Structure 1
């Protein structure tokens, strides 16, 4: 990547656009834009969502995204899922890419919005394609059943066309979708969350009272942002059961 000035040729600060559920909101320097139950973008009446959760503003030549809530966090990534950050309450970060995706959950609902910069502060510099099998940055080895589990949880988000909001299924509904027992589903969920926790993905662990609910939402957030699953993977839900082909990657055991 290379740095480019975030201004147009006339020297005026560049504007940006926030996209959500097919609607586009123009962001203008000098004006703060808020997202939440109330604000410039009123998402819905979800009581799990803060009245004011996210704030977008232009400061010192850059667009910034700030988490002004007290409990919820958001996953922020570039359009290709190569750079990812977890925006905790009180934190802020610059929106330097041409398209920045923001994914977050409030209760059982997952939201996705995108901020498009007219003049991004960073521009991609094409790199030679890596030789097959040598590119491992960001790769997470998943068994077939682990990937199926993530697809089943993320199905409403993956089937959604563009940005917007989706109700995530309960563990019981996702297990039924896969034809698994709830016990097997929960064991697989434990395995996936443990694996991502070991890899340093935040939010895979939590308090006793909130762990079961929050980890599903956080798992979907990370999987969508990091492109662990895509719309193409929805075909896996209609494929015949893998049966005995559910093998863990080399050096990894999975309890059934």
Structure 2
């Protein structure tokens, strides 16, 4: 089998057959000294004629997608996934920090194409639709990841994201609930914590899903400044 190559923060790592290649806080690929990150979180290994990505951690999960974002999977603790794409993106969060790296395979694998189609009017038809305010919320949470898409970025707190948009915390939390419930209904894992409750780390999981599936893009970030200006103008008018 041909070796894999990993791209992380502008650096390249080669994975050969043999012993598992670890990824984590103290591993072959050191992601960060973040205490919320497992010493070894993920491993890459060759087995049964395939390369596999294993989640050997106990708490953290990872979001895996192909190069187009049209295929996406949630890799929970103890789960493993065969690598069948030439380019595979991996995203995960530890505490308030989001990380991502790319796995490049030289073997001939399957090609994927975007499931979203473009109409004659130029409008993209996505698998899930967001209202304008819901899109703003996701953009505010994913802003740092979209600005620096390779490596590490901070996922803002709810208070920081609400301030970025000029919203009250009540408005932000209500809209966050709505977005998470909408995605949970279409089968997105990790947004509910059981017994009908929303997961405590739902902001990070929402960012992972939105970026991995191209639900939002860096091209839309100017909408945030516009929304902030409109909120300030509305408050000034009320005063």
Q: Given the two structures, how large is their TM-score scaled by the length of structure 1? A: 0.82
Q: Residues 102-151 of structure 1, C-alpha deviation per residue, up to 9 Å, x if partnerless?
A: 01111111110110011242235899x76548985x51110000000000
For 2:234, the equivalent position in structure 1 comes to none
Question: Aligned in 2, Cα 1:191/1:54: closer, same or farther, shift over 3 Å?
Answer: same
Please name the residue that 1:28 is paired with: 16
Q: Which residue in 2 is equivalent to 1:67?
A: 55
Matching residue of 1:164: 151
Q: Secondary structure at the match of 2:210?
A: helix
1:228 is matched with 215
CA distance in 2, matches of 1:169, 1:189: 13
Moved over 4 A (4+): 124-127, 129-136, 240-243
1:44 and 2:6 aligned:
no
Q: What per-residue deviation string (whole Å, max 9, x for no partner) do you get for residues 179-235 of structure 1?
A: 000110000000000100111101111169x95640001000100111101111111
Q: Is the 8 A contact 2:64 2:73 kept in 1?
A: yes
Shift of 1:18: 0.7
Counterpart position of 1:201: 188
Could you list the runs of 5+ residues in structure 2 that have no partner in the other structure?
231-239
- Name the CA distance, whole Å, in 2 between partners of 1:37 and 1:236: 36
Unpaired segments of 5 or more residues in structure 1? Answer: 1-12, 244-256
- CA distance change for structure 1 residues 125 and 72 in 2, over 3 Å: closer, same or farther? closer
Matched residues, number: 228
